[in-house]
Amino acid sequence: MDDWISLLGSHLPEFFQGFKITIRITLVGLGIGAALGLPAAVLRVYGGKWIRTIALAYIELFRGTPILAQLFLVYYGLPDMGIILPRMGAAYLALGLNSGAYQAEYFRGAIQAIGGGQMMAARSIGMSRIKAIRHIILPQALRLVIPPWSNEPISLMKASAVVYLIAVPDLMTKGKQLIAQYYYSPIVVYLIVAVFYLVLVLSLTWILNRVRTRLEIPGLDVETR
């Protein structure tokens, strides 16, 4: 127990620095993921044959491979193509690409749950396909996607812990540094790291639940299920 207190007492600022980096890479990754995932889903459903295949390939490849392999590809592999990213940049991009594929599947599910009828009704009053997607399909899909999508911030945050392998100074890296520099017991350090993550996950869960109830439309669930 003394270990814990002295460790936390003298190194709390370091943990908090790592904590902030973890939150930041999660948020940026989530943003990049949404920017990639939403178009990927729309193209996957409404695109022509080739575009649909490309969207499908992106989604399946990134969902079907370990995030570690994706991280190594971005950080060590991209320089072979002349794209050299700093550690943080590589972390953002790898997490964003990975999350985009998962988010695309959430968006696709919601778009398909809206059904063809809404598209037909929109077309029947003279809307073009693009306008129908923008004004009729997406506004509904984006609300419908919230419950399944709200798992993504949490899974991405958990996945983000692997970025310590390219020495991004996140929570995990801070813990590793403390073990290496001061010979603290790894068990105690990792327990503290675990508690930080748990707090983050529980607060995220709480926030996302509030958002979910805030955005409900009267009767919408009844209509679409």
78 binds another protein (CB under 8 A): yes
- Residues 180, 168, 204, CA angle at the centre, nearest 5°? 105
Binding string, residues 105-124; x marks residues near another protein by CB under 8 A: ------------xx-xxxxx
Q: Find the part of the chain contacting another protein (CB under 8 A) among 6-14, 24-32, 42-50, 71-79.
A: 71-79
Residues contacting 91, CB < 8 A, separation 6+ = 25, 29, 71, 160, 163, 166, 168
CA distance 119 to 200: 40
One-letter amino acid identity for 85? L
Residues contacting 148, CB < 8 A, separation 6+ = 106, 109, 110
Residues across the chain: 225
81 binds another protein (CB under 8 A): yes
Q: Find the part of the chain contacting another protein (CB under 8 A) among 23-31, 40-48, 164-172, 206-214.
A: 164-172
Given CA atoms 129, 30, 70, 86 in this order, what sign does their dihedral have? positive
User: Which residue in the set 8, 51, 61, 84 belongs to the binding site for another protein (CB under 8 A)?
Assistant: 61
User: Which residue in the set 1, 2, 50, 125 belongs to the binding site for another protein (CB under 8 A)?
Assistant: 125
- Give the residues lining the site for another protein (CB under 8 A): 60-61, 64-70, 72-73, 76-81, 117-118, 120-128, 131, 135-136, 139-140, 143, 154, 157-162, 164-165, 172, 186-187, 190-191, 193-194, 197-198, 201-202, 217-224
